[in-house]
A and B are shown apart, each in its own frame.
Chain A
Amino acid sequence: MSGDFPVALILIFGAALVPLFRGVVRSAYMLLLPLLAFGYLLSVPLGLHGQIELLGQTLVLMRVDKLSLLFGYIFLLAVLLSVIYALHVDDTMQHVAGLIYAGSAIGAVFAGDLMSLFIYWELTAVSSVLLIWARRGEHSAAVGMRYVIVQLLSGMFLLAGGLLHWQATGSIEFGHIGLTGPAGALILLGFGIKSAFPLLHNWLMDAYPEATPTGTVFLSAFTTKLGIYALARGFAGTEELVWVGTLMAAFPIFYAVIENDLRRVLAYSMNNQLGFMVVGIGIGTELAINGAVAHAFADIIFKGLLFMSMGAVLLRTGTIKGSELGGLYKSMPWTTGFCMVGAASISAFPLFSGFVTKSMIMSAAAMEGMTFNWLVLLFASAGVFHHAGIKIPYFAFFSHDSGIRCEEAPRNMLVAMGIAAALCIGIGVFPGALYALLPYAPDYEPYTASHIVAQLQLLFFSALAFAVLMRTGIYPPELRSVNLDSDWFYRIAGAEVVKSFRCALQETRAGLAEAFAARAITASAYIVRHRRPDGLLLRSWPTGSMALWVMVMLLAYLLFYYLG
């Protein structure tokens, strides 16, 4: 097969037909789409396909190489899992939006030029926000608006940087860009927003916990990983990223420990995992890049699994607050089990997927002699185990019994979680299959004695710390509270500044009005008299003043022409 047809369109056009079907047929149809796309992708040979000329530039709609293929496969897998997980939902908008969103993320992965990347980039933003709005409420409307503004802003940076890049190099090919000049900086900023760089990350914690239970699973798979893909493609080996990633891996830990909303805890831990990947990309050696993309691959599965289990809890109990949950293992044994597999994977237990991927990044950092970064990452690993590996299952399923007795999750959710859990273990036990897909020839053995011992020590001491802290009552209790993050600056402080500015303005105006009271009254009376409900520009002008303007314009033109 030639491979000229963009694989993304199978999902995007396929999504458009979803409303035509109902019931079982719709379920079967939606499951068929990712399988069809996968089958097509298998048949496409490596190389550049689907090249079209537009506006004097060559667009490459299908750049198939090992990097894009890896992300293509995992995205399609994520679509399949998310679709299975969402089968019980009877909301056409969510299904359509989810498929278009996934399709455009896949399109972005295979885009070989900055222009089609930009188009898909914006499409992911617009389609994903529908998954947040689908929760339908004042709150999610506001959150969705904030989310989509940030996402579109990211696209604007990409567009501006892309234009500069094109001006500078004369090509819009999306290859290695590097942090040279303003073009690279702008593009990096655009990618950075998607990958949730520190201080650009708030949209993630703000929005993901507010989507529908099934919507969050969709969201968790694509947007940030698309950012990681774009970074790996354009900024591999950019040293600044090592520090950015180190910071990213470390600081969300503190927030995650004190956060009460368990889906928000997962959002913080996602940010922390992204930090590992960014470090890998920043190091830029073959091993590090392999590690970064392999970790992205594994993360999509285990983070999806964790979000799925928390989504099931939210669906059945109606709450996701750590302080209100507990003791659910009696009611939801399967979900508990799957959640613990996800928790073990994210904590990088040996024989689970996180272990075989994260250790590549750690080894790469150690090999490059980045001792400080390596230590911070080690601390971050312990922290992950702490908040994602122990805290999530502990507070949701064990802890003190909240008295909630509910049904087990719907069967389709269990199937999706089961597949994801099986993959987590599968990758952990047989890492060779994943390694074979990596962009560079893998030369790495995860199961050495020193790796395993070091990791187990880390995990056990972390568990010990948790147990001691819980026993002694020092561990921060789960409180109904809100974490202050840096979005405070634009959500609260910014609003306050505007408000105080407005107050000051009003006071000035009041002062002025007092000073010129008499004149002000005549003036405002004049305005009121001559004003219809609208202002100067809004109202219909009388014919006379229109004609006057014509004369003014004529005189102005004559003057300018004679002088000019």
Chain B
Amino acid sequence: MSIGQTIGANLPALQVVTPLLAAPLVLLLRSPRLAYAVTLAASFASLAIAIALWQQVATMGPISYAMGSWPPPWGIEYRVDRLSAFVLLLVSLMAAVVVPYSRTSIAREIPADSHTLYYVMFLLCLAGLLGITITGDAFNIFVFLEVSSLSTYVLIAFGRDRRALVASYQYLIMGSIGATFIVIGIGLLYLMTGTLNLVDMAGRLAAGGTSRPVLAALAFLTVGISLKLALFPLHQWLPNAYTHAPSAVTAFLAATATKVSVYVLIRFYFTVFGESLVFHKLPLPQIMLWLSLLAMFAANAVAISQNNLKRLFAYSSVAQIGYITLGLSFDSVNGLTASIVHLFNHGLAKGAIFLLIGGLVIGIAKPGAVPPAPTFDRLAGLARRMPLTSFGIVLGGLSLIGVPGTAGFITKWYLILAAMESGQWWLVAAILLSSLLAVAYVWRFVEVAYFRAPPAGQEERCEAPLTMLIPAWLLLAATFWFGLDTSLTVGTATEIAQQLVRGQ
């Protein structure tokens, strides 16, 4: 077998192994410059592998890869289907965008002696997120979840504000509780089915019927994953973590971490427990519907009254997650399409916004000083000082609102379709109303940045460096591209949804 074929056959393993092995390598290299080079190479390699996997799945159907040649269900199986390939693509794409950006950003935000450690943790986090997505083994999900979570805690703690430590510590506690719940859930399932392979587990659950331990497992998993994906009211760790983490970390986490958790939720609900149990026998859809609505309205309302731009958009993330879970709760092709598309669309828009905010804080900082928090009183007249950054944030905000032409509109469209299909007209009104709340918080930024004069003595231009602007604007361009050409996002998502929602 040639090298090319060997690589082609082992792509699923390489997807995770590349960043996972790059991490210790970076640690050994020590020099920040080399560390950056290796991280950059590893993240681009991951993206290339994700694209290759995407194409393999598109042409040849789901890939089942037996780790160490131990066939499933005994060995660990890596399983790539359309859904996981889609999420892999999102995660590795965001990594490839954020790493080049990181270099300039962390130079100002993180002490120089920690740069190497930052890259190590970033790679581990990436490996963890990719691992969760690709593995077909329940316990393996837990392991990768811990890998990504532990590295995330460190990444958040890099923030220069001392509150970053508290935020990280809180997330550590909450994340650990969540992970514990997940492992309890998996343990219960293992007890009842005697297998850890997800496909095998699904088969045995379907055959064995539902018992109380299975329901308990579902409850533990639901709460544990809800915590990780910050579903209202378990979102309380998120605003602090996003606000105080370094900008590059916030952007990466906002675009990927919660999205991967949603992926895990979809996996467990639709693949393992099965639609008929989760959505037809239990009152779960109703609970999820109401929690999503609470998230959409409460978090959006809270976002409006925030004074810190990062915190504002952190709350907006909580609300946007509400849209994703709302789509899930419909249990219809259109609803699930909306959820899956929004994973991607929201990742792009929110990633771009947080990247731009990273450039913004550097722009408003005094030369050589640690960048301050982006509170509104510092942003007056920003549009004149940083036109590209300000305009970019507004464009990203348009996607959050769901203005036609942006990717966010596509999601809203499918959500509204799903709501209409289910005959719940009041939900259509609720979805539109919650977008109005998004208008309000985006407007707050527009008003401060465009309609107020910059404070005296601070009129000079201070646009963010190009290395930070280009990645952000690439994501923005993608936001508009996927608002117009939806063949990749909606096409894939509809296909996935049709496979998962068998009741249709």
Contact = CB atoms under 8 A, between A and B. Distances in A.
Interface in A510-564: 534, 537-538, 540-541, 543, 546-547, 549-550, 553-554, 556-558, 560-562, 564
A163 interface: yes
A540 B234 CA distance: 12
B431 to A, nearest CB: 12
Given A540-B236, A546-B174, A547-B173, A167 B420 contact: yes
Contacts of A556: 287
B362 interface: no
Interface string B397-426: 000000111000010010010001000000
B404 A119 contact: yes
A538 B302 contact: yes
Contacts of B428: 160, 163
Contact of B287 (A54, A541, A560): A560
Interface string B272-294: 00000000011110010000000
B490 A547 contact: no
A141 B447 CA distance: 11
B504 to A, nearest CB: 16
Nearest to A561: B215
B177 A54 contact: no
Contacts of A163: 416, 420, 428
A520 B34 CA distance: 63
B401 to A, nearest CB: 11
Nearest to B174: A546
Given A163-B420, A537-B298, A558 B174 contact: no
A174 B26 CA distance: 60
A562 B212 CA distance: 7
A147 to B, nearest CB: 15
A557 B486 contact: no
Contact of B170 (A119, A167, A546, A557): A546
Contacts of A482: none
A541 B486 CA distance: 40
B215 A558 contact: yes
A378 interface: no
Nearest to A560: B283
A562 B215 contact: yes
Contacts of A541: 236
Interface in A355-379: none
A97 to B, nearest CB: 13
Nearest to B233: A549
Interface stretch (B9-17, B109-117, B219-227): B219-227
Contacts of A558: 215-216, 219
Given A549-B236, A562-B212, A55 B486 contact: yes
A532 B434 CA distance: 27
B24 to A, nearest CB: 32
B282 A564 contact: yes
A394 B34 CA distance: 81
Given A557-B222, A561-B219, A156 B432 contact: yes
Of A160, A541, A549, A554, most B-chain CB atoms within 10 Å: A554
A561 B236 CA distance: 25
B153 to A, nearest CB: 13
A118 interface: yes
B92 interface: no
A546 to B, nearest CB: 5
A173 interface: no
B218 interface: yes
A163 B418 CA distance: 13
B486 A54 contact: yes
Contacts of A554: 181, 219-220, 223
Interface string A125-155: 0000000000000000100000000000000
Given A540-B239, A543-B173, A547-B177, A118 B404 contact: yes
Contacts of B220: 554
Given A119-B405, A558-B216, A550 B173 contact: no
A557 B239 CA distance: 25
Contact of B282 (A122, A159, A534, A560): A560
Interface residues of B, number: 46
B226 A553 contact: yes
Contact of B219 (A119, A122, A557): A557
Contacts of A553: 223, 226, 233-234
Contacts of A160: 428
Interface in B152-188: 169-170, 173-174, 177-178, 181
B239 to A, nearest CB: 7
B219 A549 contact: no
A55 B282 contact: no
B218 A561 contact: yes
A557 B287 contact: yes
A9 B301 CA distance: 36
Contacts of A546: 170, 173-174, 234, 236-237
A118 B410 CA distance: 15
B305 interface: yes
A547 B174 contact: yes
Nearest to B298: A537
A159 B220 CA distance: 41
A546 B237 CA distance: 8
A163 B302 CA distance: 30
Contacts of B281: 564
A55 B173 CA distance: 43
B240 interface: yes
Nearest to A563: B283
A543 B174 contact: yes
A538 B305 contact: yes
Nearest to A554: B223
Given A554-B181, A561-B218, A543 B170 contact: yes
B234 to A, nearest CB: 6
A55 B227 contact: no
Interface string B205-235: 0000000100110111011001100000110
A562 B451 CA distance: 56
Interface string B50-64: 000000000000000
Task: Kindly name the residue among B223, B281, B405, B451 whose own CB sees the greatest number of chain A CB atoms within 10 A.
Answer: B223
A55 B493 CA distance: 12
Interface in B64-86: none
A550 B227 contact: yes
B156 to A, nearest CB: 14
B219 A550 contact: no
Contacts of B404: 118-119, 122
Nearest to A546: B236
A549 B234 contact: yes
Interface in B293-343: 298, 301-302, 305-306
Which of B302, B404, B405, B451 has its CB near the most chain A CB atoms (within 10 A)? B404
A159 B484 CA distance: 19
Interface string B234-266: 101101100000000000000000000000000
Interface in B4-49: none
A436 B404 CA distance: 37
B490 A55 contact: yes
A538 B303 CA distance: 9
Contacts of A54: 484, 486
A469 to B, nearest CB: 46
A118 B283 CA distance: 38
Contacts of A547: 173-174, 177
Given A540-B239, A553-B234, A560-B283, 11 more contacts: A54-B486, A119-B405, A122-B404, A534-B305, A537-B298, A538-B306, A540-B240, A549-B233, A557-B287, A558-B216, A560-B284
26 contacts: A54-B486, A122-B404, A141-B451, A159-B432, A160-B428, A163-B428, A537-B298, A540-B239, A541-B236, A543-B169, A543-B173, A546-B234, A546-B236, A549-B233, A550-B227, A553-B223, A553-B226, A553-B233, A557-B223, A557-B287, A560-B282, A560-B283, A562-B212, A564-B281, A564-B282, A564-B283
7 nearest CB pairs, A to B? A557-B219, A561-B215, A119-B404, A564-B283, A554-B223, A541-B236, A564-B282
